[in-house]
A and B are shown apart, each in its own frame.
Chain A
Amino acid sequence: MKIGIVCPYSWDVPGGVQFHIRDLAEHLVRLGHEVSVLAPADDDTPLPPYVVSAGRAVPVSYNGSVARLSFGFLSAARVRRWLHDGTFDVVHIHEPASPSLGLLTCWAAQGPIVATFHTSNPRSRAMIAAYPILQPALEKISARIAVSEYARRTLVEHLGGDAVVIPNGVDVDFFARAEPRKEWQGETLGFIGRIDEPRKGLPVLMRALPKILTERPGARLLVAGRGDEEEAVASLPAEMRSRVEFLGMVSDEDKARLLRSVDVYVAPNTGGESFGIILVEALSAGAPVLASDLDAFAQVLDQGSAGELFANEDAEALADAAVALLGDAARRAELSARGSAHVRRFDWSTVGADILAVYETVTDGAAAVDTDERTGGLRARLGL
């Protein structure tokens, strides 16, 4: 099958959507499909052979933060050329509601279009007003995928229509086969995420830590991620600060080894998560997971059967659960075994097959994707 995938965000900036597209493309290539990914990228970025650059993304303020997006005449022309040269059987767009390449492709193409919705942003007033602009493009989508039940609900509420839920994929074996490291083992708690982003929940964990360390004096916290380390431990009593180790940014291999080594992986995120790929990675590595009870996390952890949940932002509850887990090796082994079995549904072999099934449904009996010639202003509006 000839598959075109559109990435809305800069290829050179690491991010969840970019990684998902990279892994999906590589998985599809391994299965023998012809894949081309259209993504914004700087001219000097080295790109994998399957990526086509759509030029540099422009930083503009959008939805309260500065985002690097691709829009405008030149980008639209590049999208048309890519569609025209590619003669794809199906085009897979990511984040079609953000004003970037995804939306442009949706507008410029006709034929089988599959769209994946990743985020679950609360709808802004400006967004409601801008909906008539989006609608004609979004109407062309033949099948919609949401990455989680949570993302699906937001999609249904904001844009109407329904979507199938296909979770983000993870290479489970990459994590399951990683080699544990001696110095990261022995009553260790793990945390991975931006240190200075309160949404990732490190402050909650820091509030819980004194109680954990009082009950389990041998325990240690390993933190991997970017941010100000001094500031992060500022709330801790001085004698406890040595129990927290900062590993900085870690490579994918070290991340897998860290998850393999820790006794408990803690995800105290306080909100804004639509999926929680890090939990899936922790489960893949067989780490017992203790997470806040966000909708998205409860979904990934199968409502608490594949990992323990605590009340969101409740440091007391987090401390109690962590102490109980650290002291109960049997429970940890049970969680690890159940997590490893549960996580298979997030493996690329399962997720990739689901996505391919969606492709097959929309391409069945349909002509190949082509450029839509009716996009010229007034005529398109009148549907001529």
Chain B
Amino acid sequence: MTETLIWTVLALIFIGVYLSWTAGRLDRLHTRIDAARAALDAQLLRRASVTQELATSGVLDPAASIVLYEAAHAARQAEEDHREVAESELSQALRAVFGEPEQVELVRAAPGGEEAAGSWRRPSAGCRWPAASTTTPSVRPAPCAATARSAGSDSQATPLSAGLRNGRRATRGPC
């Protein structure tokens, strides 16, 4: 009798510890997603701003300038739902213009060009960092985590990077 009680208490303690550990893990992952998302957002905004600045600088030819300007404008003004597509289109435009090595050299040669080149490369790295976040969904469906929803809200668990990677435009995404 006592033995059964002890086992039950032990089992309960074990389940409790496991739940608390899982919840902690989930919470940490959510924090990481938020941090990564904020960082990516900042990088994308910065990319769009630098693109707009470059488009109006007169360093590039007017046709390329207008293509870049319109894409950057769309990316900055996009609503949350269309953001992913708009950013992908900006990536596409940047790739189309800077696919030619001579063009990149031309920008680098201009004052401040070196920094500008850096700001386009950063978002693609930023997309990769939250890769850890893709493990979050694998934690979430665990039955105990589902019943004991203690950490983070599920609505946050769809990372932007997942959309960019697996979405319709995955191959052309900023990543």
Contact = CB atoms under 8 A, between A and B. Distances in A.
A62 B67 contact: yes
A103 B62 contact: yes
Nearest to A104: B63
A103 B62 CA distance: 7
Contact of B89 (A61, A71, A75, A100): A61
B97 A130 contact: no
Contacts of A321: none
Nearest to A97: B66
Contact of B96 (A72, A100, A107, A133): A72
B58 A380 contact: yes
Interface in B6-32: none
Given A126-B73, A126-B74, A378-B58, A75 B63 contact: yes
Nearest to B57: A377
A125 B74 CA distance: 10
By size class, the interface of chain A is 35 or more
A137 B106 CA distance: 20
Interface in B47-91: 55-59, 61-67, 69-71, 73-74, 89
Contact of A104 (B62, B74, B100): B62
Nearest to A58: B96
State the majority secondary structure of interface residues on B.
helix
Interface string A358-384: 000000000000000001011011000
Contacts of A380: 58
A132 B93 CA distance: 20
B69 A129 contact: yes
Contact of B110 (A104, A129, A377): A377
Nearest to B97: A72
A76 B69 CA distance: 18
Contacts of B62: 99, 103-104, 106-107, 133-134, 136-137
Contacts of A71: 61, 63-64, 67, 96-97
A139 B66 CA distance: 16
By size class, the interface of chain B is 20 to 34
Contacts of B134: none
B92 interface: yes
Contacts of A69: 63, 67
A126 B69 contact: yes
A74 B100 contact: yes
Nearest to A137: B62
Contacts of A60: 67, 71, 89, 92-93, 96
B3 interface: no
A132 B56 contact: yes
Contacts of A62: 67, 70
A70 interface: yes
B103 interface: yes
A63 B63 contact: no
Contacts of B56: 132-133
Given A60-B93, A73-B102, A377-B110, A107 B61 contact: yes
Nearest to A100: B63
Contacts of B74: 126
A99 B66 contact: yes
Given A61-B92, A99-B66, A126-B73, A73 B59 contact: no
Contacts of B57: 377
Given A377-B110, A381-B58, A61 B71 contact: yes
Contacts of A61: 71, 89, 92-93
B67 A73 contact: no
Given A72-B64, A129-B69, A380-B58, 18 more contacts: A58-B96, A60-B71, A60-B92, A60-B96, A62-B70, A73-B64, A73-B100, A73-B103, A73-B106, A75-B61, A99-B65, A103-B66, A108-B61, A126-B69, A126-B70, A129-B73, A130-B73, A133-B55
27 contacts: A58-B96, A60-B93, A61-B89, A62-B70, A70-B63, A71-B64, A71-B96, A71-B97, A72-B61, A72-B99, A72-B103, A74-B100, A99-B63, A99-B66, A100-B63, A101-B63, A104-B61, A126-B70, A130-B66, A130-B69, A130-B73, A133-B56, A133-B69, A375-B61, A377-B57, A377-B59, A378-B58
